[in-house]
């Protein structure tokens, strides 16, 4: 518990939750790093070694990795479909972060290195129907991932593999499938579908409107993993002997229309839907095949989508309507 753990991307959604979780588990030395000024971090843990560093640069990675025994590399430039479809070059530049972090980890003799990949690495031809077959790990090849962001993630997975083979750096890679929950982006263009839908429903209620805009026709399908399941799965994979990239996600497949149904039910409203077929919408269908992680680690998501969305909605509602001093605490 006295070993130094580095979490990069700690000012972001998953990274902030992970720093908090590690401290709750009793880890006493945590270094939290993000490119954003600390006043823009989603969560700042007092007592952690909090640093603002641009990890696209090797010297910053060396500073971050110095003395660390384990590294959770969650840092990247990303967002929902509205961001990654229009910022492909920016997403690709995140390859500098993982490349330089791997080099710094090797030089610092880090014992174990976790990389957060994405379901966006999966071949587009496997995701053309709403009733998509759950994606297995081998479905990433032959390669045709999401342009920009997906290619960066797939390349970085290979970098982790080759540093493990050539430099004896123990690397672990999880392919995250649509993580959601409180303390994340819900406006500004980087938000993902669960948070965006919550925001739209709340905004419609507050404005007295009777409709919301939906990107696509609402029939596209996804699975969504609550943050608590992501944190537990991440640490499970980090501690395991699983060296190849592995899925970490929910297999509870839903349409975007059904996700809206859930949020409307939580909010106690029914709204008209104005479908914007020209908006970014991503692949037609995507879900996680959890066979491998179930076999190797007996892991399965524990939080139902309805329950996780209720917590997410409550947190976003408070951000949009409640004075800071009166807001509730969400985990």
* DSSP code per residue over 6-49: EEETTTSHHHHHHHHHHHHTT---EEEEESS-GGG-S---TTSE
Q: Is 149 a residue of the active site?
A: yes
Calculated CA dihedral for residues 202, 205, 208, 211, nearest 10 degrees: 80
Q: Are 32 and 38 in contact (CB under 8 A)?
A: no
Position 83 scores a pLDDT of 87
Model confidence at 119, pLDDT cuts 50, 70, 90, reads very high
Q: Is 323 exposed, middle or buried (0-12, 13-18, 19+ CB in 10 A)?
A: exposed
Between CA 178 and CA 195 the distance in angstroms is 11
Q: Which helix (H) or strand (E) holds 230?
A: helix 227-238
Q: Tokens in use for 190?
A: 């980087």
pLDDT at 280 over 80: yes
Burial 210-237 (b: 16+ CB within 10 A, else e): eebebbbbbebbbbbbbbbbbbbbbbbb
pLDDT in tens, 120-142: 999 999 999 999 999 999 999 99
The shares of helix, strand and coil residues in the chain, as percent rounded to the nearest 5, are 40, 15, 40
Q: Exactly one of 115, 122, 149, 186 is catalytic; which is it?
A: 149
Q: Which residue, among 135, 19, 24, 146, has the nearest Cα to 74 in the 3D structure? A: 19
pLDDT digits (tens, 9 = 90+) for 29-61: 999 999 999 999 999 999 999 999 999 999 999
Q: Which residue has the tokens 């270094």?
A: 31
Instruction: Give the confidence band of 80 by pLDDT, cuts at 50, 70, 90.
Output: confident
Cis preceding-peptide flag for 142 (omega within 30 of 0): yes
Quick one: what percent of the chain has pLDDT higher than 90? Answer: 92
Q: Check: CB of residue 144 under 8 Å from CB of residue 102.
A: no
Is the pLDDT at 324 greater than 90, yes or no?
Answer: no
For residues 176 and 149, is the Cβ–Cβ distance under 8 A?
no
CB of 93 closer than 8 Å to CB of 203: no
| Residue 66 scores a pLDDT above 90 | yes
Give yes or no for residue 327 having a pLDDT over 90: no
- Compute the distance between CA of residue 72 and CA of residue 309 in angstroms, rounded to an integer: 26
Residue 47, H or E segment: none
CA 247-309-246 angle, to 5 degrees, is 5
- How far is 126 from 104, CA to CA, in rounded Å? 36
Q: Does residue 65 carry a pLDDT above 70?
A: yes
Weakest mean pLDDT among 74-78, 178-182, 309-313 = 74-78
- CB neighbour burial string for 8-32, b if at least 16 within 10 angstroms, e if fewer: bbbbbbbbbbbbbbbbeeebebbbb
Confidence of residue 15 (pLDDT cuts 50, 70, 90): very high
Structure token digits, residue 58: 């090797």
Higher-confidence position of 185 and 1: 185
Question: How large is the average pLDDT for residues 254-261?
Answer: 98
Confirm if 282 and 215 have CB atoms less than 8 A apart. no
pLDDT at 147 over 80: yes
Residue 331: the pLDDT is: 63
> Average pLDDT of 212-228?
97
213 or 83, greater pLDDT:
213
């Amino acid at each position: 518990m006295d070993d130094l753990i580095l979490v990069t991307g700690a000012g972001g959604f998953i990274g902030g939750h992970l720093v908090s979780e590690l401290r709750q588990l009793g880890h006493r030395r945590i270094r939290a790093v993000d490119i954003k000024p600390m006043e823009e971090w989603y969560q700042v843990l007092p007592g952690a070694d909090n640093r603002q560093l641009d990890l696209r640069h090797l010297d910053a990675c060396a500073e971050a990795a110095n003395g660390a025994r384990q590294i959770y590399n969650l840092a990247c430039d990303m967002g929902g479909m509205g961001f990654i479809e229009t910022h492909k070059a920016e997403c690709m530049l995140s390859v500098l972060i993982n490349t330089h972090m791997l080099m710094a980890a090797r030089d610092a003799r880090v014992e174990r290195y976790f990389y957060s990949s994405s379901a966006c690495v999966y071949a587009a031809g496997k995701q053309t129907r709403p009733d998509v077959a759950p994606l297995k790990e081998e479905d990433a090849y032959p390669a045709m991932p999401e342009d920009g962001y997906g290619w960066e993630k797939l390349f970085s997975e290979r970098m982790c593999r080759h540093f493990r083979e050539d430099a004896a750096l123990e690397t672990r890679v999880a392919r995250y499938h649509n993580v959601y929950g409180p303390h994340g982006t819900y406006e500004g263009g980087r938000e993902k579908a669960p948070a965006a839908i919550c925001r739209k429903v709340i905004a419609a209620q507050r404005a007295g409107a009777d409709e919301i805009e939906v990107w696509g026709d609402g029939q596209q399908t996804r699975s969504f993993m609550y943050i608590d399941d992501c944190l537990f799965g991440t640490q499970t994979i980090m501690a395991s002997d699983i060296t190849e990239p592995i899925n970490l996600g929910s297999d509870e497949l839903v349409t975007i229309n059904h996700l809206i149904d859930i949020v409307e039910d939580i909010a106690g409203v029914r709204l008209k839907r104005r479908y914007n077929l020209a908006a970014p919408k991503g692949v037609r269908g995507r879900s996680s095949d959890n066979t491998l992680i179930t076999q190797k680690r007996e892991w399965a998501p524990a939080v139902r989508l309805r329950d996780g969305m209720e917590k997410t909605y409550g947190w976003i509602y408070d951000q949009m309507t409640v004075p800071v001093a009166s807001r509730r605490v969400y985990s």
